Amino acid sequence: MTGLLMLVASPALHGQSSEPQAARELVRQTVDNEVRSNNDGTKYMFCDQKEFVHGSQTKLVVETTEATAGMLVAVDGKPLGPEQKQAEEARLHALANSPNDLRRKRKAERDDTERTERIIRALPDAFVFEEDGGELGKPGMGKNGDQLVRLKFRPNPAYDPPTHTEQVLTGMEGYVLIDAAKHRIAVIDGTLVKDVGFGWGILGHLDKGGRFVVVQGDMGSGTWEITRMDLSFTGKILLFKKLEIKSNEVFSNFRQVPGNLTFAQGVELLKKQREELAENHDLPPRNGHSP
Measure the CA–CA gap between 210 and 190, rounded to whole angstroms: 8
Tell me the per-residue pLDDT of 40-93, one tens digit each, with 9 for 90 and over.
788 999 999 999 988 999 999 999 999 999 999 999 999 999 999 999 999 999
How many beta carbons lie within 10 A of that of residue 286, not counting itself?
Answer: 18
Least confident of 147-156, 212-221, 275-284: 275-284
Beta-sheet strands, E only, within the chain: 43-52, 55-63, 68-75, 78-79, 127-136, 147-155, 172-179, 184-192, 196-199, 203-206, 211-218, 224-237, 241-257
Do 291 and 213 touch, CB atoms closer than 8 A? yes
Measure the CA–CA gap between 253 and 47, rounded to whole angstroms: 6
Do 205 and 198 touch, CB atoms closer than 8 A? yes
Tell me the per-residue pLDDT of 212-245, one tens digit each, with 9 for 90 and over.
999 999 998 789 999 999 999 999 887 678 888 8
3-state DSSP helix/strand/coil percent for the chain, to nearest 5? Answer: 35, 40, 25
What is the mean pLDDT of the segment spanning 200-213?
83
Least confident of 34-48, 170-184, 195-209, 244-258: 195-209
- In the predicted model, is pLDDT for residue 13 greater than 50? no
Name the residue ranges covered by the structural domains of the chain: 3-279
Looking at residue 219, the DSSP 8-state letter turns out to be -
Looking at residue 12, the DSSP 8-state letter turns out to be G
